[in-house]
Structure formats: C-alpha cells, structure tokens
C-alpha cells in the first residue's frame, strides 16, 4: 500500500534552553460557561512555519468536527494559538499568557524541544497539563512530571525499532551516521546500546555536519566500513539531503532513518526512493473508526490526508477524551485527573492507557519505504 508523502514537523533542535519564568500567579480557573478553552504556543511565523502548516490544519479539522457535533458535554472547544517563532523564551511568555490571561484548562501541541523543556517547570508551578507535543526527544520524558503527557513514540524508540528491523532482516553489520550536534550526539549512544542489545555489530559511527557540507567525506568513510545498512540520525534537512545523495553516488548500503528526516524528503525528490523511514502515526486505514471519522472530515473540508495532518487530528481526539471525562466542572486539575484515568482508549495506534505512573504510553512505530513520486510503500 502506498500513501502520499507528507512533511512531519518534528524538526526541533535537541538543546534544551531555559527561559525566564514569570513570578508565581494563580493558575487558570474553570473555563467560561459555553466553551472549553485550550492553548498552544508554536511557530506560526519563521522558517519552520511552513512545515507546521499541515499540523495546524489537522488540529483545526478535529476542533471543527467536535464542535459541529455539539462540542464536549455540550460546550464548544476553542483553541487559542500564540506565535513563538520557535524561540523558547517566547514559548514561556506565551504559556504564561495562555494560563493567566486566557484561563486555558490545558495546553497542547508545543512544537519546539527547547520550548517544551523551558515550560516544564512552569507547568509544575501553575499546575496546568500539557497534553501532546510535536517532539520525540527522549530526555524530556526521562523524569516523571505530573502535568506532561505525550501520545507518540520517542526518537529513542524509533532508533531501537530500526535496529530491531535490520537484525530481523539479517542486516546486522550496521553503520551509524549522526548529525554533528546535540541531537545526533544524544542519539548515538541510544543506537550503540540497541545494536549491542540485538547482538549486531556497529561497524562505524561517522558524524555529518548540520549543513551537510562534509557529506561526501562522511559517505566515503561509512562505505569503507562495508556496512549492510546505514542508520542516519539527523534532524536538519541539509544533512539528510547531502548525505543521502552522497551515499547514492557511491552506491553503498540501504539507508534507514527516523521520522525527523521527513521534512527533507521533498527536497530529495526521486533521490529519496528506497530510503526506509519510521512513522509514529499510522496510515489512515478506514477499517478503524477514528480513521473513518478523519477521512469524512478531510473530504468535507477538501483537505489532503498526510501523516502529520492525521497525527495532529489523532492527538486532539485523545485530548478531547480527557476533556470529556473531566465532567461539568472543567479546570486544569479536573482535566489532569481525567487524563490520568484514561484506560484502553481505542485509537488507530492500538489501545492506549494513561495512569499517574505512565504519562508516555505511545509506542506505535511502522517502517515505510519511500517509493516513486513521493509515495510511501508500507
């Protein structure tokens, strides 16, 4: 089965940046009668805004759908969005505004790794839940946080799945090419551990610059180790484009990479054919009730389905379940308690359960192959 190529905007820098937190204030009260207000800070302007466009569209599709059907417990949902231009300091400022001025009952869909890292202390202070983010950076999930939830697999999970898949295919001589920054360096030991655990052999680990200018040298060094597969760990488009093209010119082993590379695939064009890439959002099979709802809404809105678009829709549908379970008095605390009480929620990725001890239950990963004309072969 094939599906249209989409850009997934999980393209965040992996260095956590601290913003200046505001002085303590009272956290949000119950939403005004007649509506439930949720908040989001993300880059509506700047270089990553275009990559986020399908995400924003998918979120709104879910909101329009639920409101068209009468809202949640009879109340319409309103999303307040503030632009942070991918600046973590602005993310902190926006979150303060959303909590104190707009009285949001929950935050959702932050898209910057440094921004998420910067607001986690603020969420602890204000006691407002953040449900769902567009970054899979695994260190964010390492320490338990009572108000932070994710719905998808982490980057580390994706790396481990690539290695598992390669070993299953008997491609157990693996080279790792990692982006030469904090993101790539943080995933290199994850890949090393996964390769060792599976009994495979790490034949080389080669850095590639963020701008991809040393791609030919990196590809040459990698090929000299004679790997059976190459695991490319990159978050920036130029390094993905440069390395894939350089390795293709040499004619080396197949390339596996994770979902952070999706945004680079359009620039690669037909050179991307054959690259294996992980997806943390399922294909929109209409045997699944949520997928049927999604496709009905997509058709109604005359939009185009894609992984990023569908992923945003699914995340909001899960958030709506938490809002619904909060009952008639919807506050940050009732929403937080309701989310922790979600058990065996049937979504397209399989049943998902949250609990006070598990705020990050997402584990779905599927490996796809880039096919002709920007399609994915599953």
Task: Give the CATH number of the domain where residue 25 resides.
Answer: 3.40.50.2300
Residues 95, 160 share a domain: no
Tell me whether residue 355 is in a domain: yes
Residues 116, 31 share a domain: yes
Residues 147, 20 share a domain: yes
The predicted-structure confidence for 174-206, as pLDDT tens digits, reads as follows 999 999 999 999 999 999 999 999 999 999 999
Tell me whether residue 310 is in a domain: yes
Residues 293, 259 share a domain: no
**Least confident span in 79-83, 136-140, 260-264:** 260-264
Residues 306, 252 share a domain: no
**Band of residue 46 on the pLDDT scale cut at 50, 70, 90:** confident
Q: How many domains does the chain have?
A: 2
- 103: domain range? 2-153+285-363
Residues 112, 161 share a domain: no
Residues 290, 142 share a domain: yes
Give the mean model confidence (pLDDT) for residues 104-128. 97
Residues 160, 115 share a domain: no
pTM: 0.88
Tell me whether residue 374 is in a domain: no
Residues 351, 340 share a domain: yes
The predicted-structure confidence for 82-97, as pLDDT tens digits, reads as follows 999 999 999 999 999 9
**Least confident span in 50-54, 198-202, 243-247, 293-297:** 50-54
Q: What is the pLDDT of residue 11?
A: 38
Q: What is the mean pLDDT of the chain?
A: 90
Q: How many of the other CB atoms lie within 10 Å of CB of 313? A: 29
> Domain boundary at 279, 311, 338, which?
279
Contacts of residues 219-222 at CB distance under 8 Å and 24 or more positions apart, as own/partner, are 219/243, 219/246, 219/247, 219/249, 219/250, 219/252, 220/246, 220/250, 222/175, 222/177, 222/247, 222/252
Residues 192, 130 share a domain: no
Tell me whether residue 373 is in a domain: no
Residues 264, 126 share a domain: no
Q: What is the pLDDT of residue 275?
A: 96
Tell me whether residue 375 is in a domain: no
Q: What is the pLDDT of residue 295?
A: 96
Longest dimension (CA), the chain: 66
**Band of residue 33 on the pLDDT scale cut at 50, 70, 90:** low
Q: How far apart are CA 212 and CA 241, in angstroms?
A: 8
pLDDT for 313 beyond 50: yes
Q: Which two tokens stand for residue 66?
A: 């639920």
Residues 86, 100 share a domain: yes
Q: What percent of the chain has pLDDT over 90?
A: 80
> Domain boundary at 246, 279, 312, which?
279
> Domain boundary at 279, 312, 344, which?
279
């Amino acid at each position: 089965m094939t599906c249209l190529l989409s850009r997934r905007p999980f393209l965040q820098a992996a260095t956590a940046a601290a913003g200046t937190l505001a002085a303590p204030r009272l956290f949000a009260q119950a939403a005004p009668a007649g509506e439930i207000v949720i908040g989001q800070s993300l880059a509506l302007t700047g270089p990553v805004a275009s990559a986020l466009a399908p995400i924003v569209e998918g979120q709104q599709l879910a909101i329009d759908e639920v409101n068209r059907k009468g809202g949640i417990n009879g109340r319409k949902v309103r999303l307040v969005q503030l632009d942070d231009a991918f600046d973590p300091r602005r993310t902190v400022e926006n979150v303060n505004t959303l909590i104190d001025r707009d009285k949001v009952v929950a935050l959702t869909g932050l898209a910057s790794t440094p921004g998420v890292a910067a607001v986690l202390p603020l969420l602890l202070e204000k006691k407002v839940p953040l449900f769902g983010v567009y970054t899979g950076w695994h260190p964010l999930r390492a320490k338990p946080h009572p108000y932070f939830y994710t719905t998808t697999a982490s980057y580390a999970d994706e790396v481990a799945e690539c290695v598992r898949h390669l070993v299953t295919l008997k491609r157990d001589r693996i080279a790792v090419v990692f982006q030469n920054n904090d993101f790539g360096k943080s995933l290199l030991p994850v890949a090393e551990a996964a390769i060792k655990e599976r009994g495979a052999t790490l034949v080389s680990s080669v850095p590639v610059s963020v701008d991809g200018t040393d791609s030919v040298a990196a590809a040459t060094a990698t090929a000299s180790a004679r790997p059976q597969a190459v695991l490319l760990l990159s978050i920036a488009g130029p390094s993905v484009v440069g390395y894939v093209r350089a390795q293709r010119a040499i004619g080396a082993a197949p390339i596996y990479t994770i979902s952070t590379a999706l945004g680079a695939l359009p620039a690669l064009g037909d050179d991307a054919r054959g690259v294996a890439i992980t997806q943390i959002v399922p294909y929109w099979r209409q045997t699944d009730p949520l997928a049927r709802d999604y496709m009905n809404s997509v058709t109604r809105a005359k939009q185009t389905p894609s992984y990023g678009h569908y992923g945003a829709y699914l995340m909001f549908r899960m958030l709506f379940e938490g809002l619904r379970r909060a009952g008639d008095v919807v506050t940050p605390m009732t929403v937080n308690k309701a989310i922790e009480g979600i058990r065996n929620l049937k979504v397209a990725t399989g049943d998902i359960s949250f609990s006070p001890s598990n705020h990050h239950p997402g584990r779905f990963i599927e490996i796809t192959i880039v096919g002709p004309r920007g399609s994915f072969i599953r």
